[in-house]
Each structure stands twice: as structure tokens, then as C-alpha cells.
């Protein structure tokens, strides 16, 4: 008990423990406690004990599972940060603090935005799939547009020639068109109404120059019987004729099979 201990201090202690003392009373109580009055400190601990019981008098409320998970995440994240003697392991403490902060931050963020993130994640995946699909389609469309543009350039070039091919024996209704651009040295060929072939067979386009067939490329037809060939090195002079034969898959150096188109 300090020299200036009085009943007044004892009377203020319960309210002081409650945190209710203010003004001049507060200054007086604090300066008295600062003297280290053992009796007042002992009494204060007892009052605190009573208040702990008052705190526990409330109706308990079970926390949500989310809060429990957050606390578990804190416990699993990093060792507690405690003050260390100066100069020892400062970096380790900083790193531990950083990892704990990150854990707490990510815990909060995850808990609060978990559902939203999940929804956005699913939406992002869906959009990514859509974009990737559209990209692929765009790539194909661009390639197709390029091919069409080149073919058009050949067909529309000055001095372009058009050769019509007619169906023969097995496919009388079939037809074909070859457009040759002497200026570009290229040609395009389109076939229509040709039947689909077995997988080990292919159609092969030829031009006849001086009685000798020269391969212009191989092609297959789609379900509508349409096929095409772009000839990168077309004959410089007008060919004697153009023809299509059925050949083994991969094509052959000289025609061996049945002729289905000629013109």
C-alpha cells in the first residue's frame, strides 16, 4: 500500500476497472496507481476477475464455419510473431510477419469473395473457351479468305483463261473449271459433283502439254462432291487439255487410273 492510499481510491477502483472513471477522478486514480500501490493493484485484479464473469454472462453465439476456417488458416499459416532480442533474426521475423499478413489477407479475401471468385472463375473459363473457339474459327476464316482472295486474283487477273472440264464415264454429271493466269503463272481448279473416294484413293489433276501429262496436284471432295486445287506453277503456254483421274492415295507421277473429268 502506498503512502497516499485512501478509501477514495478503493471506491474509485471498481469504476476504474470498468473504464468508467473520467476527468479529474481518472488523473487522480492513474497517478496513484503509478506509485505502485500493491493493495490497489491487487484489488484491481480482483475487480477484473469479476468483470470477466460479467463478460461471460452473455448468451453464447456459435461462430460461423467461415470464421472458424479463417482462424484455422491463421493457425496453419505461420508461427506467431513475437518480439526478439535486438539484432537476432530480424529478417526471419519480417518474413514470418509477411506470411502471416498474406495468410490473413488471403483468408479474408477468400472468405469474402470466395463465391464471387468462383463464379467469376467459371465465367472466365467459359469466356476463355469461347475466345479460343472464336480464335480458331477466325484463323480458319482468315486462311479461307486468303485462299479465296488469291483464287479471285488469279481468276480476275488480265489475260486469265477459263477451261471447262466435263464428266466422263463413271461420273457423267460431274464438271470442273480451271482458271489459268499466265501473268501470275498460277491456276485454280474447281470440281463439282464428283463422288467421294475410298480412303486409299485420290483425285489427281493433270494438264497435257505436247501429249505429255503433267501433275497439277491431288484433291478430295467434300460431302457435296466439291473439291479444289490451287496450281502454284501453271503452264506458261495454253495446255492442250486438262483432266482428272482416280489414283492411289498420295498421287502418282503419271496417270494410271480412270479419267473422270476432261476439258
Partner 1 sequence: MLDFSGSFGVAAAPAVHLFMESRPSPDDAHLLRRIASGDGDALTRLFDQHSPVVLGLLVRMLGGRAEAEEVLQEVFLQVWMQADRYEESRSSPRGWILMLARSRALDRLRRRTSQQRREDEAAAGEGVAVRPVGTARLEAAEQRSRIGAALGVLSPEQRHCIELAFFEGLTHTQIAERLKAPLGTVKSRILLGMNKLRQALGTS
Binding region for partner 1 (CB under 8 A):
11, 14-15, 18-23, 25, 45-64, 66-68, 70-72, 74-76, 79-82, 100, 104
Handedness of CA 91, 96, 99, 102 (dihedral sign): negative
Q: Helix or strand or coil: residue 185?
A: coil
Nearer Cβ to partner 1 (59/223): 59
Q: How far is the CB of 66 from partner 1 (least distance, A)?
A: 8
Rounded to an integer, what distance in angstroms lies between the CA atom of residue 115 and that of residue 96?
Answer: 29
Nearer to partner 1, 40 or 229 (CB): 40
Q: Count of residues for the chain?
A: 263
- What is the closest distance, in whole angstroms, from the C-beta atom of residue 121 to partner 1 in the complex? 24
Instruction: Give how far Cα 178 sits from Cα of 207, 226, 238, 245, Å.
Output: 10, 14, 12, 15
User: CB under 8 Å to 17, separation ≥6 — which residues?
Assistant: 44, 47, 48, 50, 51
Determine the Cα–Cα distance for residues 222 and 214; give it in Å rounded to an integer: 25
CB of 108 to partner 1, least distance (A): 8
206 touches 223 (CB < 8 A): no
Nearer to partner 1, 75 or 128 (CB): 75
Output 21 or 194, the one with its CB closest to partner 1.
21
Pairing of strands 161-167, 241-248: unpaired
In the complex with partner 1, which residue's Cβ is closer, 65 or 223? 65
CB of residue 61 vs partner 1: minimum separation in angstroms?
4
Q: How far is the CB of 117 from partner 1 (least distance, A)?
A: 19
Residue with cell 477522478: 25
Amino acid at each position: 500500500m502506498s503512502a497516499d492510499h485512501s478509501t477514495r481510491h478503493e471506491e474509485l477502483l471498481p469504476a476504474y476497472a470498468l473504464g468508467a472513471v473520467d476527468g479529474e477522478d481518472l488523473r487522480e486514480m492513474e497517478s496513484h496507481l503509478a506509485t505502485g500501490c500493491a493493495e490497489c493493484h491487487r484489488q484491481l485484479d480482483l475487480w477484473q476477475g469479476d468483470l470477466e464473469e460479467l463478460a461471460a454472462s452473455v448468451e453464447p453465439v456459435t461462430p460461423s464455419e467461415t470464421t472458424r476456417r479463417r482462424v484455422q488458416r491463421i493457425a496453419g499459416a505461420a508461427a506467431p510473431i513475437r518480439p526478439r532480442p535486438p539484432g537476432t533474426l530480424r529478417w526471419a521475423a519480417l518474413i514470418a510477419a509477411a506470411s502471416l499478413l498474406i495468410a490473413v489477407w488471403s483468408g479474408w479475401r477468400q472468405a469474402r469473395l470466395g463465391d464471387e471468385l468462383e463464379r467469376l472463375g467459371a465465367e472466365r473459363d467459359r469466356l476463355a473457351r469461347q475466345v479460343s473457339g472464336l480464335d480458331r474459327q477466325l484463323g480458319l476464316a482468315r486462311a479461307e479468305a486468303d485462299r479465296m482472295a488469291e483464287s479471285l486474283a488469279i481468276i480476275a487477273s488480265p489475260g486469265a483463261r477459263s477451261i471447262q472440264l466435263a464428266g466422263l464415264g463413271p461420273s457423267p454429271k460431274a464438271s470442273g473449271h480451271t482458271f489459268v493466269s499466265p501473268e501470275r503463272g498460277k491456276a485454280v481448279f474447281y470440281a463439282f459433283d464428283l463422288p467421294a473416294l475410298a480412303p486409299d484413293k485420290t483425285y489427281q489433276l493433270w494438264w497435257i502439254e505436247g501429249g505429255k501429262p503433267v501433275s497439277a496436284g491431288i484433291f478430295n471432295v467434300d460431302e457435296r462432291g466439291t473439291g479444289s486445287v490451287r496450281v502454284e506453277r501453271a503452264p506458261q503456254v495454253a495446255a492442250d487439255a486438262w483432266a482428272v483421274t482416280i489414283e492411289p492415295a498420295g498421287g502418282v507421277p503419271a496417270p494410271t487410273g480412270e479419267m473422270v473429268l476432261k476439258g
